[in-house]
Structure 1
Amino acid sequence: MASLTAHPSEALSGTLQVPGDKSISHRALMLGTLAVGRTSISGLLEGEDVLNTAAAMRALGAEITRDVDGLWQVWGRGVGGLREPDDVLDFGNSGTGARLAMGLVAGQAINAVFTGDASLRRRPMARIMRPLEQMGVRFVAREGGRLPLTVSGPQALMPVTYRLPVASAQVKSAILLAGIAAPGKTTVVEPEPTRDHSERILRHFGAAVEVGDGEDGRHVILTGEAELTAAPVNIPADPSSAAFPLVAALLLPGSEITLPAVGMNPLRTGLFRTLREMGAELEEENARREAGEPVADLRVRAGRLQAVTVPAERAPSMIDEYPILAVAAACAEGTTRLEGLAELRVKESDRLAAMARGLQACGVEVEEGRDSLAIHGCGGRPPGGATIEADLDHRIAMSFLVMGLCAERAVSVDDAGPINTSFPGFTEAMGGLGAGLRGDGTT
């Protein structure tokens, strides 16, 4: 366990290349494993979550290497060609890796045992299991559908039309990954659009994916039993990781930073929209596309923020960014209200409770509801001066470290280790911009 302390800082400046998008990194490895031929991946996030997915894909039969220049190569097995792993597949802290891989394995006539760290073993998997069971997949799991669990793919997978009870890109993606091996058309109906990285990268590898709006929601239709062809993938910088230096620069007077090649998928940019509504100065430069994904360089300048109400329907486009938005709200003028946060209860931690608890410890007045949070901003630097229990949650840890940079007194997190799951080198990267982050030297 390694604690880390953020000390009140002055203006940030410079250029920071944020690590590659975690969601796309997982998907690139998985689609490369299902494709025929060699897939070259540049910009892959080399955090623990993605490295665990790479290890799982190797265990399923893919040959995966990393060149000295950071380019990853994946030699795929083809749809239906994965082998039964010799050992348990351990996804560490990654709910995305585990849930998507459950869909991947569901399309193979093999058995695989899934596990993860203490945090992941607490997280529910039943919502992934339900649609896959309708396709003929069998599961043996702990009470509540929790890891460790065994996935047994059928000899003949059936296509399904499944309406998501709640918006979830992970459930949708698991169904689509399974549907690649099913005959006919597999359809997912979304009550609200969620991040569409799976649809984009499936098309990039040659799958037929149609998207249209119906009376009951957004229909995503995949034609199964298609051969996927290896294709190069250039992964953009992760907007969820970019959020931390971005918010820090907005809150520290005099700051100006540039974040190159950030993914600007419109289903992922709810935080940027919200911050602009609060008065943030964010400029997009050099807009372009990489592997079907919109990308731009972000220029960020500090400024005073005003409170807003963030509606529930925006949650799918910024579900991972609420912890850092809460820090921005703590420094804004007025009361910010966040609605539709029920999904945060089942993330790496109960993020809604963790946000409320941590903000209160830093001297910020909050009101926690069942699926909402009201944050009474300080109109400047909050008091700070707390030690936060991150509960193995990388986003809670990074959010409160940003709080420490912008507070009157230092803020510590009890365990910064999980930050490596999504933002390896976070301390050094932020330090390069001028942030005051110091560890206690223990592990």
Structure 2
Amino acid sequence: MDVIVTPTPRLEGDIQALSSKNYTTRYLLVAALANGTSTIHYPAHSEDSDAMRRCIRDLGAIIEEDDKKIVITGFGNHPKDIRELNVGNAGAVLRFLMAIASLCPDVTFVNTYPDSLGKRPHDDLIDSLQQLGVVIEHQEGKLPITIRGGQPKGGKITVSGNVSSQFLSALLFLTPMLEEDSEIEVLHDLKSKVVVGQTLEVLEQAGIIIHASEDLMHYKVPGRQHYQAKEYIVQGDYPGSAAVLAAAAVTNSDVKIHRLAENSKQGERAIVDVLRMMEVPLTHEHDIVHVQGNQRLKALEFDGDAATDAVLAMVAAAVFAEGTSRFYNVENLRYKECDRITDYLNELRKAGANVEERQAEIIVHGRPEGVEGGVEINAHYDHRVIMALSVVGLRAKAPLRIKDAHHVAKSYPIFFDHMKSIGAQIEWV
């Protein structure tokens, strides 16, 4: 399904931030890896978290849930012997479970999204798992991928960090359960260090001990550890909220988003700092971000590596800023559901934005007067692109039609409901 976003001069209202997808998927996994029963309060409901639910159930976890919580009885370090797993279009879920599947004798991850996740590379994780003695069949690093494991061995492991931090996180979930101690060395640069911090935070909450170097490039992991059954509370989600905050910033607005913790370790919390630097009137107190936008924004320069999943929303705001903005150190955006630099900027240009790309940079020449709009644009099946293009549509001079906008459900199924509740003129077609 498509959406048509009609120019909307004013947004007003209160919404509750969705629960964090990143934390939910990690809590689901550590609960499944525990012996005993864990409870997760306020879990996110999205295609990614639903994929993790489905897969850990297939691997032997027992799941019961109601509107406010999920109760999970885990399978510990003995996942069920299963032949096939379908992670849908969820890259993080695939990578985390490729590591856990190495405890199984023979599992194939199927390819149900050949034009999205099916195109993404996983060679770096495959190489690391092979160092543990796991046999892997793959298609040049891409799905379908068959893991022949059963008895992975610890020891010295290297992993590349310059495409995705998810490869490292996958190893951090697996290695504590191995019989041997492990040492993990990250090669090259490590992208999205903040997200690795979230993994380490969740592992610590689950009772796992990992000794990480200060720069997060070296790890000593004692083996023979056991995940503990615990209670977890999922915090509000900054990556999804970033698009709503950007929408409030580019319009005349009076919008509050609740449940956004001021001390959160989510890197995308930087959306608040970025909007402040753009001189957007806002406050952040008592876990509430209150934006009173006046359609006036200033350009800025920003290192996007620590806030990967908010960069597209920041760029959407910069489209209407006075001056030229530069978002740098963002090459890993190219390795997401689509190439979030080339593909996204091509669609922004169709809408009338003045943008340039470098290999690891996005440059935005702001147009405070607005953009033309009046076109159909392709979001490339990417939830972050869909949300960011919706922000641009609010300040276009004519409506934007966004193709396949239902893929927003990957992380934020009720994004358009929330946007309409604060006054955005959006309709499904």
* TM norm structure 1: 0.90
CA distance in 1, matches of 2:260, 2:100: 27
Counterpart contact for 2:183–2:218, Cα < 8 Å: no
State the partner residue of 2:35: 36
State the partner residue of 2:182: 185
Q: 1:40 to 1:127 in 2, by over 3 A?
A: same
| Aligned mate of 2:119, from 119, 122, 136 | 122
Cα-to-partner distance string for 1:322-356 (whole Å, 9 max, x where unaligned): 22111111010111112222212211011101221
State the partner residue of 2:273: 273
Q: Secondary structure at the match of 1:379?
A: coil
Q: Secondary structure at the match of 1:141?
A: strand
CA distance in 2, matches of 1:163, 1:105: 18
State the partner residue of 2:293: 302
Which amino acid counterpart does residue 337 of structure 2 have in structure 1? E
- Number of aligned residues: 419
Which range is displaced more, 370-379 or 52-61? 370-379
State the partner residue of 1:372: 361
Q: Which runs of 5+ in 1 are unaligned?
A: 287-295
Q: How does 1:321-332 map to 2 (within 5 A)?
A: 321-332=310-321
Which amino acid counterpart does residue 241 of structure 1 have in structure 2? G
State the partner residue of 2:304: 315
CA distance in 2, matches of 1:147, 1:158: 25
CA distance in 2, matches of 1:300, 1:223: 46
Which range is displaced more, 154-163 or 419-428? 154-163
Q: CA RMSD in A?
A: 1.8
Q: Secondary structure at the match of 2:412?
A: coil
- Counterpart check, 1:418 vs 2:418: no
Which range is displaced more, 37-46 or 26-35? 37-46
Which amino acid counterpart does residue 211 of structure 1 have in structure 2? A
Counterpart contact for 1:207–1:223, Cα < 8 Å: no
Cα-to-partner distance string for 1:158-200 (whole Å, 9 max, x where unaligned): 2334353427321111111121222213434474533111101
State the partner residue of 2:82: 85
CA distance in 1, matches of 2:280, 2:100: 40
Q: How does 1:166-205 map to 2 (within 5 A)?
A: 166=162, 168-182=164-178, 183-189=180-186, 191-192=189-190, 193-195=193-195, 196-205=197-206
Counterpart contact for 1:6–1:412, Cα < 8 Å: yes
Which amino acid counterpart does residue 206 of structure 2 have in structure 1? F
Which amino acid counterpart does residue 344 of structure 2 have in structure 1? M
Which amino acid counterpart does residue 59 of structure 2 have in structure 1? L
CA distance in 2, matches of 1:271, 1:152: 42
CA distance in 2, matches of 1:394, 1:308: 25
Which amino acid counterpart does residue 91 of structure 1 have in structure 2? V
Which amino acid counterpart does residue 370 of structure 2 have in structure 1? R
Q: Secondary structure at the match of 2:213?
A: strand
Counterpart contact for 2:304–2:327, Cα < 8 Å: no
State the partner residue of 2:151: 155
Q: Secondary structure at the match of 2:304?
A: helix
Tell me how far 1:90 sits from its aligned partner.
1.1
CA distance in 1, matches of 2:211, 2:285: 30
State the partner residue of 2:371: 382
State the partner residue of 2:330: 341
Which amino acid counterpart does residue 354 of structure 1 have in structure 2? D
Tell me how far 1:201 sits from its aligned partner.
0.7
Tell me how far 1:12 sits from its aligned partner.
1.4
Counterpart contact for 2:131–2:157, Cα < 8 Å: no
Counterpart contact for 1:20–1:237, Cα < 8 Å: yes
Q: How does 1:20-99 map to 2 (within 5 A)?
A: 20-67=19-66, 69-78=67-76, 80-86=77-83, 88-99=84-95
Q: 1:283 to 1:152 in 2, by over 3 A?
A: farther
Which range is displaced more, 261-270 or 277-286? 261-270
CA distance in 1, matches of 2:217, 2:18: 31
Which amino acid counterpart does residue 300 of structure 1 have in structure 2? V
